[in-house]
Amino acid sequence: MLIFPAIDIIDGKVVRLKKGDYGKVSGYSITPEEAARNFYECGARHLHVVDLDGAASGNAENASTIQKIVKSCEMFVEVGGGIRSFEQIEKYLDCGVKRVILGTVAVKDREFVESAVERFGDAISVGVDAKDDKVAINGWKEVTNIDSIAFCRSMKDLGVNHIIYTDISKDGMLKGANLEIYKVLCQTEYIKITASGGISSLEEIKELKKMGVYGAILGKSLYENKIDLKQAIELAENL
């Protein structure tokens, strides 16, 4: 299993939200580039970056900051937030991003997702953000009536091989991940599942690894020193 330390960005700064609420923001004095370098020095070789401004607006608001992150580290970087055009996908991939995450656009335009997969292959993943098992869009501000598990399985039919599933109610709370939902999702053949939201202990990493989860995203647990990144990587890779 891969460990993806996370960098969430608002106005070019590193932040974490509680339950996806833009009104409950924790800011950190470290710059995004410094955070990336620190993660690399701890042994991380994969990085999850989200443009939270972009997720809300539909535009890549922090693209220049993300480009700086990519240039400052030698990691596999995946990026989400406000990616809703082929042009923006190409810009990110051209600057060194290895995988882009489609969120709101995957809900609103299935044809776009299918075309993106045909065009860019495994460089495309879909981020599924869920609240009470329903898909949320537009920076988590709007909850649809779409069942999140059924939506994940429908993405497989479009050729998507990788899904990042976030339980919004757990995100940023440091109270544990929704392990049960990942047990279900891992039963979906031919889709790699990355767990996101609330992972706050090494024991959870062990459980996710045993389930067959592809990756685990660690955010606030790292910034608040609840999980040691080096230990997490060692457990994920060697368990």
Mean pLDDT rounded to a whole number for the chain: 91
Give the CATH number of the domain where residue 59 resides.
Answer: 3.20.20.70
pLDDT given for residue 50 in this prediction: 93
Report pLDDT digits (tens) over 194-216.
999 889 999 999 999 999 999 99
Report the DSSP pairing between strands 46-51 and 21-27.
unpaired
Which of the residues 53, 129, 167, 171 is marked catalytic? 129
User: What's the domain range around 211?
Assistant: 2-238
Kindly tell me if the per-residue pLDDT of 20 is higher than 70: no
C-beta pairs of 24-29 under 8 Å, 24+ apart in sequence? 24/172, 26/172, 26/220, 26/223, 28/223
pLDDT band of 17, cuts 50, 70, 90: confident
Kindly tell me if the per-residue pLDDT of 184 is higher than 90: yes
pLDDT given for residue 89 in this prediction: 96
Report pLDDT digits (tens) over 110-139.
999 999 999 999 999 999 999 889 999 887
Is residue 11 part of the annotated active site? The answer reads: no
Phi/psi of residue 215, each to 5°?
A: -150, 160
- Split into its structural domains, the chain has a count of 1
Q: Percentage of the chain with pLDDT > 90? A: 74
- pLDDT (average), residues 46-65: 90
Asked which of 32-41, 72-81, 150-159, 184-193 is least confident by mean pLDDT, the reply is: 184-193
Is residue 157 part of the annotated active site? The answer reads: no
Calpha distance 68→75 (Å, rounded): 13
Cα torsion 172, 178, 184, 189 to 10°: value is 30
Task: Scan for tokens 């609240």, then name that residue.
Answer: 131
Give the DSSP H or E segment for 203.
helix 202-211
Which of the residues 8, 53, 167, 171 is marked catalytic? 8
- pLDDT (average), residues 8-14: 92
